[in-house]
Structure 1
């Protein structure tokens, strides 16, 4: 195995802390063969003296030491040597200790007896993390110029999420991403992966609710040729495909209990056995999981194993719903419309439509915004989306400030441009509504009255009514069906 290149112009230095002399010697020899400088300490006291004297690229500590706990060293390094990753050595079967250490700030862990190939992978990950560019530079290089982050927006809420991700990316600890459906959990997982030392390795996202239970083991762990009918060749599973990188388990709460047991073992031991194989193989995978369900409630109901819950929920990242960051709607909509547009035919929102979107509560979050804009783009005249194109449904949770702004500005401006209200006495719906009110319902009332007035004026000639309103015939027909408008009586 070729030695590791010197770190930042100097040979990387590793500190090993363990009270077992033979294990210290084994680790020292292994690391020296990798081209590293190594210091060893048999106690916390000796380790502290080394930390004052040198700067380390990695600290590796046992959990049990004669003058204290390795957890103390994890906390000290995390608090006073923030640029130095620290990993722990845990006794076989002591997965709980590893979880506690990861929550305290440990970068990763290895179990006794120490597997040297696993140790080498851990060291390489730590050194790659030291060489990685700042998160901001990585994002700018990796993403399109118009989208420096998978998570779009400048609201305080989304900036807080990005700040959390920049810290999470330095660790190999499992992360569970929670949030409502459509809030961008997979995008957050991709952001964690892209900002980490594993960015050049595979990112594999798996929807746990979409795999038939009978195929789960084969899909996750792979299978050998002849293991079952139809297994005509050896095949790798998700764990092997993500080896060296990140495996995202989306909707992890949907896993059946039998699979949860096997998944727990694979995560704890970092080894998997293919269906039909007799030996296990080592895998180096960081686990990110996501769910819109309350996992604690699933545990209480007996639908999710408590030990797996604690294994996955080392760190939690909560994504805010879109209604809590409505200031991001404009930027999100702009990015979505760029994707929907075809060459030479751009799509845009007018101010009235944007105001309507910024006053909507989006029960389906960003995914619903995408659906609304995709539908609206099909009805837009000359590539400009108006309020009437959006087809927003009543949500009933809008704030009074947004209500006033949209009533005074968006609705009036949009509809006055479409209908000659000054010369038509039939339309008298532009007076401000009594507050509180449900804004979408009020806008539907305005839209309904304007369309009815146009139909009265044209004696139910929908083609002429569409011309009066400045919309296409198809768009008018859609609105009539949506608002359940019947033919009107004319004079």
Structure 2
């Protein structure tokens, strides 16, 4: 097997020599350049598995070289070497397309971890279609196609990603796809709902604690950062973190170190941070509920997930997929999967889905359970009577439910005089048939039925009781 080829770009001979010795001991071939001009010349011919470049070079910035590599050698990861504390510069490099960064003075163990992570990318397939993810973002709408391409691109670097979108749009699915398509795919993916952890336990949960550090700490415990070391930590609903915890999280992200509760020593961690929330973080900052400096650290690159109501025909594609899955989960034969009526499809298209994909799943699971004769009608969907859109707060009218399961309705007939033996019984029968037809038409809404019949609700209730129709099915 050929040795990995690493290109080192730095104008300081001592730094180049240190990197050459370190990487040489890792059984890697190294090539050096002292300027952007020399580096671009070296990149014209040989293939490199990784480029390490200083940020400040005699003939330009390392970010210029990052952009050159992104344009001409997009499959080659590039990491930048920044001055100590230059986090803003590092973030600019990540936004330009750098894989990761390392700060001066260079910590050799950190450098080795970075190199190993970068080389994993070189070993992965080179085409987007070759990537395999256990997680899947379903849909063919143009907004979803664009999102999939963005996921494929940003999975290659180590930049913190902020995933925004309404509740139920699939933010954790997107986070898992980023992890599975990146260089950390063989390490842990640790999701955590920040709003589900009690405030007094947050520091221990995130950073761990030492035995005896507080009442109930009977043994050492590693935190979520250490559990995810080498992999990805997904901070869902990050806007729910209290301010005191946001300060500690900011330091952990910047320093790549955590201090367990009760410990005097910091522990280095190698974690990629992905975060998400359904809230508007800019508004949260204005309300002084979210720190602006933390926002800039977690939001190096933002991914926006479109709401389901803006995804066109994806609603029906998702509906078919969900019904297929429910058929398998319920142990039914494929032939027993219920089909959606035309009006049910129209109702699903016109609904605004304040709960997005998660709500669609709930709607279809209920309809799957309650429908008859392997067909789901619009009335089986039980869509809410009003809809409030999460992004605008606008109330939308409900979709019109125009079809219901076919029912056998009694026909009104005019009997011959010879067949009438008792006028009172005959009139009662006719009244009963009329009431049944109107109630069926109004889907057993007694208020609407009374209005159509021109009688009071109390009079209708009296007639139903007298005729034996005041059962559990007669819903107001």
With structure 2 as the length reference, what TM-score do the two structures score? 0.82
Q: Which moved more, 1:156-165 or 1:325-334?
A: 325-334
- The equivalent residue for 2:53 is 61
- In the alignment, what sits opposite 1:303? 289
The equivalent of 2:332 in structure 1 is 344
- Rate the CA distance shift 1:272–1:396 in 2: closer, same or farther, 3 A: closer
- SS for the counterpart of 1:53 is coil
Deviations 1:194-253 (A, max 9, x none): 111211111111111111111111101111122211111211111111111111110111
Which residue of structure 2 lines up, in the alignment, with residue 370 of structure 1? 361
Superposed, which structure 2 residues align to 1:358-397 within 5 Å? 358-382=349-373, 384-395=375-386
**SS of residue paired to 2:6:** strand
Change (3 A) 1:447 1:77: farther
2:129 to 136, 143, 150: 136
Give 3-state SS (helix, strand or coil) of 2:270's partner: coil
RMSD of aligned alpha carbons:
3.3
Please list the CA deviations of residues 265-299 of structure 1 after superposition, one character each: whole Å capped at 9, or x if unmatched.
Answer: 11111111211222222211111100111111222
Residue 304 (structure 1) shift: 1.4
Q: 1:213 and 1:450 mapped to 2: Cα distance?
A: 50
In the other structure, the counterpart of 1:237 is 223
- Contact 2:354–2:387 under 8 Å retained in 1: no
Q: Call closer, same or farther: CA 1:297–1:344 in 2, change over 3 Å.
A: closer
Q: Secondary structure at the match of 1:52?
A: coil
Assess, with a 3 A threshold, how the Cα gap between structure 1 residues 243 and 76 changes in structure 2: closer, same or farther: same
Q: Secondary structure at the match of 2:81?
A: strand
Any conservation in 2 of the 1:347–1:385 contact (CA below 8 Å)? no
2 CA distance for matches of 1:107 and 1:59?
Answer: 10
Task: Out of 89-98 and 350-359, give the one that drifted further.
Answer: 350-359
Aligned length: 433
Contact 1:360 1:395 in 2 (8 A): no
CA distance in 1, matches of 2:358, 2:326: 14
Could you list the per-position Cα deviations for residues 29-84 of structure 1 after superposition, in whole angstroms to 9, with x for gaps in the alignment?
A: 11111111101122222212211232211111111122221111111111221111
Name which of structure 1's ranges 161-170 and 45-54 shifts more when overlaid on structure 2: 45-54
Alignment of 1:78-477 (within 5 A): 78-133=70-125, 134-139=127-132, 142-143=133-134, 150-341=136-327, 342-344=330-332, 346-351=336-341, 352-382=343-373, 384-395=375-386, 411=402, 414-415=403-404, 417-418=406-407, 420=409, 448=445, 452=449, 460=464, 477=473
Instruction: For 1:336 and 1:241, locate their aligned partners in 2 and report how far apart those are by CA, in whole Å.
Output: 33
Quote the Cα distance in structure 1 between the aligned partners of 2:172 and 2:116. Answer: 26
Partner secondary structure for residue 15 of structure 2: helix
The 1:420–1:285 alpha-carbon spacing in structure 2 relative to 1, beyond 3 Å, is: same
Larger Rg: 2
Q: What is the CA–CA distance in structure 2 between the aligned matches of 1:445 and 1:283, rounded to whole Å?
A: 64
* Distance in structure 2 (CA, Å) of the matches to 1:79 and 1:59: 14
Cα distance, 1:465–1:332 mapped onto 2, change above 3 Å: farther
